[in-house]
Structure 1
Amino acid sequence: MMFTPSIEFPTTIVHHTVKAVLFDMDGTLIDSSPAVAAAWKLLRDTGYDFLDLDHILKSAHGYRTIDALRKWCKIDDEELLKREVVRFENAILSNAQAKAGSGGGIIALPGVSQLLDDIEASTVSEHGQGWSVCTSSTHFYASKALPAAGLRIPNVFVTAESVTHGKPAPDPYLLGAKLNNVSPFDCIVVEDAPTGIRSGKASGALVLATCTSHTRDSLERESPDFLVPNLSYVKASRNLDGSVSLAIAQPADRKETASTPDDTPLHTPALSRVPSATDMFKKIHSAVATPREPGTEIDDYGARGVKAMGGF
Structure 2
Amino acid sequence: MADRALFAGRSFAALLFDMDGTLLSSIEAAERIWGRWAARHGLDVEAFLPTIHGVRAIDTIRRLDLPGVDPELEAAGLTEDEMHDMGGIKPIAGAVAFLAGLPADRWAIVTSAPHALARRRLAAAGLPVPEVLVAAEDVTRGKPLPDCYHLAASRLGVGTADCVVFEDAPAGIAAGEASGAAVVVIAATHLEPMATPHPLIESYDELALSIEDGQRIILGARG
Q: TM-score, normalised by structure 2?
A: 0.89
Match for residue 149 of structure 1 among 121, 125, 128: 125
Determine helix, strand or coil for the equivalent of 1:173.
helix
1:65 to 57, 69, 80: 57
Taking the TM superposition and a 5 Å limit, the aligned residue runs for 1:1-312 are 3=3, 13-14=5-6, 16-45=10-39, 47-48=40-41, 50-72=42-64, 74=66, 80-96=70-86, 99=87, 104=88, 106-120=89-103, 128-214=104-190, 217-220=193-196, 223-224=197-198, 226-249=199-222
Distance between the aligned counterparts of 1:216 and 1:190, measured in 2?
Answer: 19
Show structure 1 runs of 5+ residues with no match: 4-11, 121-127, 251-312
Distance in 1 (CA, whole Å) between partners of 2:46 and 2:150 is: 32
Give CA-to-partner distance per residue, 1:79-137, whole Å, 9 cap, x none: x32222122122223222xx3xxxx2x111101001000113xxxxxxx4311001111
Distance 1:183 1:44, change over 3 A: closer
Query: Which of 1 and 2 has higher RCO (CA within 8 Å, sep 6+)?
Result: 2
The answer for unaligned runs of 5 or more in structure 2 is: none
Shift of the alpha carbon at 1:73?
A: 6.6
| Cα distance in 2 for residues equivalent to 1:162 and 1:152 | 20
Q: Distance in 2 between matches of 1:248 and 1:74?
A: 45
Describe the shift of the 1:32–1:73 C-alpha distance in structure 2 as closer, same or farther (beyond 3 A). Answer: farther
Q: Percentage identity across aligned positions?
A: 32
Aligned residue pairs total: 220
Q: Deviations over 1:6-33 (max 9, x none)?
A: xxxxxx6535421000000000001111
* Residue 160 (structure 1) shift: 0.9
Check conservation: 1:173, 1:199, Cα contact below 8 A. Answer: yes
Which whole-Å CA distance do the structure 2 matches of 1:62 and 1:243 have between them?
28
Instruction: Say which one has the larger Rg.
Output: 1
Contact kept, 8 Å, 1:146 with 1:153, in 2: the verdict is yes
Runs of at least 4 residues off by over 4 Å: none
Give the Å deviation of 1:219: 4.3
Task: Please give the secondary structure, in 1, of the residue aligned with 2:11.
Answer: strand
RMSD (Å) for aligned C-alpha atoms: 2.1
The verdict on how the C-alpha distance between 1:84 and 1:14 changes in structure 2, with shifts beyond 3 A counting, is: same
Aligned equivalents of 1:133 and 1:27: distance in 2?
12
SS in 2 for 1:235: strand
The 3-state SS of whatever aligns with 1:132 is: strand
Pair 206,142 (structure 1): closer, same or farther in 2 beyond 3 Å: same
What is the CA-CA distance between 1:59 and the residue it aligns to? 2.3
Code of the residue aligned with 1:28 in structure 2: it is: T
2:49 partner amino acid = L
Deviation at 1:177, TM superposition (A): 1.1
CA separation in 2, counterparts of 1:31 and 1:25? Answer: 8
Asked if the contact 1:65/1:138 (under 8 Å) is kept, the reply is no
Q: Secondary structure at the match of 1:18?
A: coil
| Distance in 1 (alpha carbons) for counterparts of 2:116 and 2:65 | 21
Which secondary structure state, in structure 2, belongs to the residue aligned with residue 34 of structure 1? helix
1:64–1:166 contact (8 Å) kept in structure 2:
yes
CA distance in 1, matches of 2:142, 2:95: 24
Q: 1:235 to 1:20 in 2, by over 3 A?
A: same
Change (3 A) 1:147 1:245: same
